Chain A
């Protein structure tokens, strides 16, 4: 009976030590994984700025679509005002192109078609072109490609 008691308490202690060891290993692994995940996130990015000037309002004719393929934007001026569209196709990221004769915007990669206001007409793209922020600063139009605005948003001038 004595021997049995001794081995029982022994095995409880052993079990406790085993579980705490396992727990410690688990905590260390979880901590290590968290640190690793944070490590692979870049903290400082050397990328070109997302805001840039595109010109003065007078430079854009009324009812025109001006394409800037370098910065991947379309500046659209209607009778009411301005809005800016991202030229990046919403399908898989190719740069769309404005078609002169058909008066629309097309993507050369997989054939998606958009209207002049960016809405989706045809193609594998799931939605229309993103409308991005445009504002007036010191008499010049400034576009911010990182800021998306509502579909009917306009800079009224």
Chain B
């Protein structure tokens, strides 16, 4: 997030795109609910009429994957009506003419044709969003999990810069991160091309800094992304994998292909707290610990680094991840000698400018948002205050591209996938909790009333859903909150895994799979 969670409560306009906020980020939605009660205008764009959509003053039901068209349509109107922030555009940005050209064809009328949203609603959203200096964009996986994921995100940034809604409190472009420490994992270089704090591996000066402190030679070549690794395992370029706290057998797209790829590996190590579907395929399973059994820090969606504290000792032979990694390293001949997570944090601070001022003692007072370069620095609740990281904010000229796999005669429905409020990801933890299991015991497919009637599928009927890649049988849930021609399946459930159906079509830059769109057919089972 460019801004912090509490600032959302003070926003005058909130534009939520592709975020099922109440179910997936309840504490963020608390800020939205508070704001709406005070009179904040909430605009929600989502193919499903989720709970947050029901709270919105303006709900736009867009076709999955048409986000760029919607945002360009809004920007087209904002530019042609002169509603943009001319001073901000002039002093803080570059590339405006290119943007103007890129969106010039995408009139609200054209955007309406692509998105399925009425023209008046697109204009109304544009006027409302541009009409405030405290407009905040919230987005989530509905924006990112597309072959145009990067385009979608950059279009959000274009809109925010165009209206001057960035670099100030209660504005910004705010991706909601789904896991307690996914921000931290990225911050720590859990990516193929960077070290901690997004320091590029192919930058000689930065790499040498790490080489000096660690006393080793490091490769300047970026590695594979997680989704590419599955490809490489399948074609034999990758021989061994070490998977920690992830269950790609259920969470990766095209599960049948994932299974084939993992089985081809010569050596698979899985570190987890339960024997997941992925761990069952492993040659070695290393028992990690739950958050209750470890000390350390989590970095949350607003870049806030916070302490977690061990409540109980590790159960059985399990160990905190850092201890397992250190022991493996020692066995391989490199002595990693850390006495505690705090000692690791000291090294992080030493090597990572954005974490430079973060110490365990400072975190006692409730956490710090990076960048926090020095021990005197108070942290940074919102980014890009007086200038952008690169100097001027650069508008990216982007035009609409359609999803990779669209419905056709054989597979006439569009499938979108996601989560429910009662389960977390692949259900490794939550499906073991009786009360959560009682709420949502298994998978289902949400289908509109009219489609269900056409297919002769009644509520609760077992339904066969198939795509070019696989098929599953799930219960039908007939709802009035989904578009005709679109169905939704949550991906938590291994026994009827939505990802048996999804395609591994990746965004060319971020390599994120298009979980939100693929083509399926439905039949009564």
Partners in one complex: no
Which residues on B are within 8 Å of A, measured CB to CB? none
